Structure 1
Amino acid sequence: MEVAQVLHMNGGMGESSYASNSLLQRKVLMLTKPIMEVAVTALFSTGATNFPASLAIADLGCSTGPNTLFAVSEIISIMIDLCKATKQEPPEFQVFLNDLPGNDFNTIFSSFLPGFQEKLRGQIKRKDGAWATLPCFFNGVPGSFYGRLFPRESLHLIHSSYSLHWLSQVPRGLEGNKGNIFMARSSPAEVLRAYYEQFQRDFLTFLECRGQELVVGGRMVLTLVGRRSDDPSSKECCYIWELLANALNEMVSEGLIEEEKLDSFNIPMYNPSPKEVQTEVQKQGSFSVDCLELSEVNWSVVDTEFNPNVASKDGGYSMAKSVRAVAEPLLVDHFGEEILDEVFKRYKAQIADGMSKEKAAFVNVNVVILLKKIA
């Protein structure tokens, strides 16, 4: 599997699209707003960037859908309030939206950007009628963030949410992970080690690249799907994939999927602990840690807040659709499209059964880190 060619969220606006099934990600963005305020305020107040006439912001792993412009909207809103409070003219904003080439950039620019720009004009008019316009320039940047994307010292603020747990490749040495599609309680120690070492390599590369692209004093806000436990195969980060593996194994037992095909499929992601994230930051040396926090989002809370009618009918429905919006391109590339509906029918049943027995297992743990470029 060439991850950079295959990995992307489901595009478009249909029933199985990421745009229609990313409520949990929206909730996480809302939870990280206070840290974003700290980052923007620090950038504004320290003068490290000499408050430039143009502020360059990059959202890495932006995906597609209504969430794509949420963080950018918050950053600009915070900056407008700061400028108004200090009676300064706001800068021009240059916004770079990055994701892998397979991302549905067309939907971003055709369906979501026009509404965002209209909302921004209204927001500016309400906050200060003297600002007739606020120049804000958008750019799509296709490419892997496990490599250089921007010129040296060209960015002031970097944001990334729910992207950096994805690895640049499926780790090597997973031959012993039979019957699993990710780290699991039954995975051999060498499989867990292979996943961790791939995360170390990737995250260190990411930090090295961003260290070159950020100005000194620039900030970076990163949110990863992580874990509290020291055990990388704990339920808090692996259970949803164990249930998908169960659904696939059922189909193997019925002859609908070849066993060898299942054994050669593994999800290219890693859920780090806060300690693992901090260790790589300290090892790389370009950043200081301004803030490191954990947060949790329960799937049932997401449904109750955003989609109560569905939540009351079927506890596994929204979660199965959300995972499908994320994992479908990987499954199609490996197994083919014809098995998808049957896989997710069984997966929804697995989730509903699991939720009825142990709701605590359906919690996403988030590692949020605010970094300052120091060298």
Structure 2
Amino acid sequence: MTKSITDEAISALYRSLSNGETICIVEFGCSSRPNTFLSVSQLIKTIREECTSNGQQLPEFHVFLNDLPGNDFNTIFRLLLTFHEDLKKQNMRSGHGLFDPPNCFVAGVAGSFYTRLFPSKKLHFVLSSYSLHWLSQVPDGIENNKGTIYASSTSPSSVLKQCVSLYVGAFGHRAQRLGYREIKYIVEKEGSFTIDLLKTLEHQMDSSCEGYNEAQSVRAVGQPLLVRHFGGDDKLMDVVFNKCKDIYANIMAKEKNIFTNVIVSLIKRND
């Protein structure tokens, strides 16, 4: 759903750079699965197409993959050989020839994007999908948020204000997947970025899987957090997420459920 948006953003960036300039890309929340490199591969493919159409040489890429220190970076590094082989094949098909060594250099960066991770003016393009809405620290006064496990309309105003202040204060490193009012407010208050594009995309839950896919999606992100906070093993997590699956199935049997995604593309201010 976001491919056309990221393609246009990386193309506009490339056209604004000097010919031959190394392009530095970071992905926040990279995880450690085979699809870790999908977004990066697509960005490089888009720039390759730009180079082909303009008769230019493909630039070098410096890619930083970021996640929390507990992420399995060893798995990512073991996947690098396959990633580079795929790039070589793509380059051959496009007429750019083989690169030995490859012109894409990858580094892992462990740490919370709540903190400073890179030197000033180091990065050209920052990408994150389904990561920036996670807080890396617990808001003060969260114990007053009784009856729900997230910030909702029933939450005390003190809890809502604290959550918003955390997102605003950290926006130099991250964004929050919220609604339009909230996104514009955070961007304008922080002041480092202008909004290039802001839109919503919707898709419906898959009722045919009876909640399995939704529960597995939650498990992929939620299990490490639950185990770290409460303890437990895979057997216990099976029980938790089987219950989660049943809850999803029950909800989907009663009503039409839509996921709403807020997509935002930002450009850093020069002033």
Q: TM-score with structure 1 length normalisation?
A: 0.66
RMSD over aligned Cα atoms: 2.0
Hey, what's the Cα distance between the residues in 2 that align with 1:365 and 1:59? Answer: 22
Aligned-pair distance for 1:147? 1.9
Write out the 4+ residue segments of structure 1 that deviate beyond 4 Å after TM superposition. Answer: none
Which residue of 2 is the match for residue 343 of structure 1? 240
The 5-angstrom pairing of residues 1-375 of structure 1 reads 31-46=1-16, 49-110=17-78, 112-128=79-95, 130-133=96-99, 134-184=102-152, 186-203=154-171, 205-206=172-173, 226=177, 272-300=178-206, 312=208, 314-337=209-232, 339-360=236-257, 363-375=258-270
Q: Is the 8 A contact 2:88 2:97 kept in 1?
A: no
Identity %: 44
Which residue of 2 is the match for residue 303 of structure 1? none
SS in 2 for 1:296: strand
Letter in structure 2 aligned against 1:355: M
Hey, what's the Cα distance between the residues in 2 that align with 1:273 and 1:358? Answer: 22
Q: Is the 8 A contact 1:167 1:202 kept in 2?
A: no
Hey, what's the Cα distance between the residues in 2 that align with 1:282 and 1:341? Answer: 43
Which residue of 2 is the match for residue 21 of structure 1? none
Q: Is the 8 A contact 2:144 2:159 kept in 1?
A: yes
Aligned-pair distance for 1:135? 1.0
Q: 1:325 to 1:125 in 2, by over 3 A?
A: same
The C-alpha deviation readout for 1:41-88, integer Å capped at 9, x for no partner, is 211223xx3234321111112112133111111110011110010001
The C-alpha deviation readout for 1:140-165, integer Å capped at 9, x for no partner, is 01111122212221221111111110
Q: Is the 8 A contact 1:53 1:92 kept in 2?
A: yes
The C-alpha deviation readout for 1:302-350, integer Å capped at 9, x for no partner, is xxxxxxxxx74x4111211221221112222333216433222222211
Q: 1:53 to 1:190 in 2, by over 3 A?
A: closer
Aligned-pair distance for 1:182? 1.8
Q: 1:150 to 1:52 in 2, by over 3 A?
A: farther
Letter in structure 1 aligned against 2:88: R
Q: 1:192 to 1:284 in 2, by over 3 A?
A: closer
Q: Is the 8 A contact 1:58 1:95 kept in 2?
A: yes
Q: 1:173 to 1:89 in 2, by over 3 A?
A: same
Number of aligned pairs?
Answer: 266
Hey, what's the Cα distance between the residues in 1 that align with 2:20 and 2:190? Answer: 27
SS in 2 for 1:364: strand
